[in-house]
Structure 1
Amino acid sequence: MSQVASKALGVEISKIHISEMATDKVPNSSPTAASISSDLYGMAVIDACNTIKQRLEPYRKLNEDGKWEDWVAAAYVDRVSLSATGFYASPKIKYDKITNSGDLFEYFTYGVACSEVIIDCLTGDHQVLRTDIVMDVGESLNPAIDIGQIEGAFMQGYGFFTLEEMLFAPNGEVLTKGPGTYKIPGFSDIPKEFNVSLLKGAPNPRAVYSSKAVGEPPLFLAASVFFAIKEAIVAYREEQGICSEFVLEAPATCARIRMACEDKITQQIIGKLMMQVMCAGALETCYQIARPFSLSVVSNKRTFVEHGRQFYNSEEH
């Protein structure tokens, strides 16, 4: 906002100061969230700055060689108010729930990502070797901030797709209560090579200074890591002669990756699991337990039941 005010007023950014936010200054303001801050607040700042510029315009004309301080001092002597309130509401935003028609958004922010990963088929661990991102942010207000936001949002999405798993006890108690059980991305999880670039030549005329908001949009780009992991699992399964479809649920934790890399070891595990539970006559329970591990035999309940009965009736157990 300092940059926006500096450009709108035509003064050095060193002359701009933003005080601590409080409702006694701007009541009922919107939160800094949902990728709306730059658009709403930036346009509101421009609106307020334009009001002040109009009040100072007579003094600019009288003293064209003067400085900002000269015009402000002259306006002060003439008892001209140099404070202003700005307001902005996104235009053309209208939606009818009954007819399911209208526009909910003024524009869309686009991006593309490509990730390369390597997985350890014996442990289920993985590492992101490289990620390349190109993001359309229009004419960036501050490339350094935008790139930092893109990197941060991507890593937040990385946690969502690969690490952050919520586990609950049968009574509803949350088991993943802290960093010991609920894993979030760390420094070592950042891609070894991380390239972020901003798309050039794509101004957005619908927002402040042709920019685009870039809060949450980069988060979903981390799906590129998830699907790269799945492709690596497919490659390993093909080496084992397994070409059947399988389900890999997010987050792709070490346990899910390892069990999805189906081989003799995982087959023994699921076989013993089915044997124990089927002996108790609880095939449904066995299915619910095994499903998160992404084995091909549990891709659907019917296949699982048939496989379980075959195993139970065989001599393997």
Structure 2
Amino acid sequence: MELMEEERIKLQNEIDSMIAVLATPVSDNDIIEIDAGGKIFRALRSTLCRVAPADTMFSCMFSGRPEEDTLLIRDDHGRVFLDHDPELIEIIVNFLRTRKIEKLSSKPVRSPKVPEGKKDEFESLLHYFGLTDFFYPPLPVSLTLDIANMDVVQPNGFAVHAAKSKNKIQLTKASGRNYMTNHMYFLASKPSLDNSKPSLDNSRHGSFWKVTIDVLPDRHWVYLGIGAVDKSFEDSSSYGWSCGSGVWLGGSKLNGTSGWTEFTEGESLYFHLKLNKLIMFSVQKNRRFVIDIAKSRMDREYYIDFNLYDPGNKISLEPLSKDEREYLLLED
């Protein structure tokens, strides 16, 4: 009888708790306390449920729904207990806070910085909570170069050899007695014509690519930038940088160096075309170069442009990896 009475009291307490939960109105402005490995965090329910509850385990935990609440582990003070690294939980909560006010900021919110030794653990935690795509959205198709389906156009003949693999195009200026025929050899690298969006994306996200200066002879000319197909760097559609003559804006050479440092052999360059700016970041020099594109020319179709002059010049075109893209944006 005593055991039965104890069970009855226990069951009644559970029923009372459930009734209390059902009777308590849930509000986005509720302040939720979290005990993460002994460190206490306080945040609004609307912050913790920034991602729709139906989409993530994390939001479901704090949605206030009775069926979810009964599954939560709580500490001695009734706080939701998360048996995870408190530093990583703090990064998650702070990023959710930042995303709440994203529309009020003039700059897009970047993915959070994570201590170097904890990146793998953080990614595993995001996967567990269902937050991976929210923290690291997959690149839109327009941002990633489909190297396998890109063409290389050479209006002045085929003095440049293009070796193409799945993720790289390597361009080598041919040698020989007639290498100066047609003067400078202009190339435009572009997606195939059957692509629904053949030109570079110059919209909100922009386009990213990487160029490596593999070989740069002593007497050199290399131009890297953007422009229209079948047009040279002297055309009004062209914006970029070159060895020997500096910066080109709308087909005109910029007077003065504007901080330009020339290309060097072995240099890796990250490019980002976005709205009215062309950005080039040199990894080896840890320097960022920016060209402003005239607003009247923003609606043009742009392609990745190259100009190789001397025999032996060799450069490689590749898509930027996720980490390289994030690094470039941090420098932006």
> If the TM-score is normalised by the length of the shorter chain, which range does it land in?
under 0.3
Q: TM-score, normalised by structure 2?
A: 0.23
Structure having the larger proportion of residues in strand: 2
Larger helix share, 1 or 2:
1
